[in-house]
Structure 1
Amino acid sequence: MALEIYQIVILISIGALVGISISFIGQTGLGIVLPIILLFTGDVFLAIAINLLNDLITSTTVSIGYLRKREFKIRSDIFIIIIIGIVTTFFGVYILMTTPLGSIYGWFIPIFIMCLGIVFLKRGFPTYESVKTMAQNIARKTVKKGRNEEERAEINKKFTEQLVSGSDSIKGFISRGSRMYYILAIGFGLFIGINSGLFGASSGLVFVLALVIIYGYPLKKGVGTALILSIIISLCTFSFYQIFGLTIEGHLFFNFELSFYLAIGSIISGSIASTYVQKLSAKTMGRAVGLVIFVLGGLSLTFYFIT
């Protein structure tokens, strides 16, 4: 499809917002990319595939800074989550393309995106502090209620020290191989797979929470590692959309022009934002993006019912 100048400007601008979004704790560009691609093409599967590809490109760009600082650590035991996620994603994409579920996405996705926009308008982007609080709240729920206040306070103290630790030694407070360990790992893996397969999200924030809560990663090292895992899940899910698109729908879900101009904005803003992310106001940026998401979602919904 031949793009007009104004469409190119919009795509580069949307891509720039995605770069900033992913720089804040790996937040996916799902809510920003999907509605604009829906407006341009009306194809939900193409919109999801393009978002996955753009998340893949942007996560790779943003992760370079973390790789240079060695703010990552790949361990063999974290692959239980990624394997479960990939398998779940495979079946999610297959079900989406072979059942009537895909037919409701034309109106469901815009409504979902509008709700996401409202959340961003209210809370802004996730930050290190907000993710730390979120992880602490989830972690506390894994502690047995029978423990006394002193034990709880000690666990909270250790968890806080773990989050800000710069050490290479990583040890979670959930025992490796315990029942809770496997329940959380399987739960996070399934959630990531559904999130990626059905909605096209790279799940960077979910990976961060899993690494911090289950495996005891310090927050910055968790973000760097989560970006690498996001690259893997985005690549696999994008590949599944192409494979099933070719075998079931008879064509690939890919558009070079749309992907190219989105990538330009994402790479430039992702490179800059990943360097200066701590100096930006997450609440202000998040609210601005939230407003854009809400408006785009509303336009997509209107366009769906008109056409």
Structure 2
Amino acid sequence: MTVCPCCGGKFEGNLLDGCALCGARAVGEPLARPEIELPAYGRGVLIGAIGVLLLLSFTLSTIIALFEQTQLTIGFWAVVSAAETAAWRLKWTVLPFSILALWGGWLLYASIRRERVRFAGHDLARCGLSACMLVIVMIATFIGLTVPERLRQRQRGFEAASQAQRYTMERALMEYRERYKTYPTSVKDLQDGLPDPYGSIATALSNIDPSTYQPRANLADASAGKGRRLRGAAIRRASTSSATDDTGNEKISFTNYEMKLPGPDKIPNTDDDWLLRDGVVIEPSKSAPQN
């Protein structure tokens, strides 16, 4: 089967006799292949260039992170810290591209090895593959070094948020006490009785089980002369119109309270709940009942 270079037609025969479709004829026999053919460097250079570019991008990002530090110091740990920052910045760009470049470069390098006569640049290809692997290893290593510290920072963030919630509730109860000379009878009274322009109190109360708030009051027993402590729920159920009630129709002032606050898991009524009692924050291990 012969293909005519003029019309592209396919026919059986020799071009010296002319194309059967368009009549074009060859001017002579095809040129012989050269005795010496130079190998191509294109594939090897391509693999090497990609590896060098990836390595330069990581190095440049590390230098930029080094100069972005508050106090510029050229030292081992300063460079390590800058490399960690660069690794996190490049994890979604350079790292995936390095993996793809390593895979594609390995396929090209395999073709170079199969046809050593046609292709040259074996050393360049190996250097490019090594650079790709080096970038992948460095990014993965520096990210892995920072994972424990980032987990600790994340835990400290949870603890700070939980602590802010505890202090918000403590401040709100103190403000309510100063304004009304008593603690609120319920969580709803606390939310309705104080201004909350920034929504901090509402946010803190959204994670709290209202039933865990228990106000108490010390009432003097007129007959025995002894103090007795009543829970807020019991006081609210008591009848204020009874003729035998020692307190009459006077408004009861709550002087003590207890409230459970969610711990780091942000789930109320669990073992890690904190206890807020009369303005004192008690850790879960100390607030747990002793057997």
TM-score by length of 1: 0.23
TM-score by length of 2: 0.24
As a proportion of its length, which structure holds more strand?
2
User: Highest Rg: 1 or 2?
Assistant: 2
* Structure ranking higher on relative contact order (CA contacts 8 Å, 6+ apart): 1
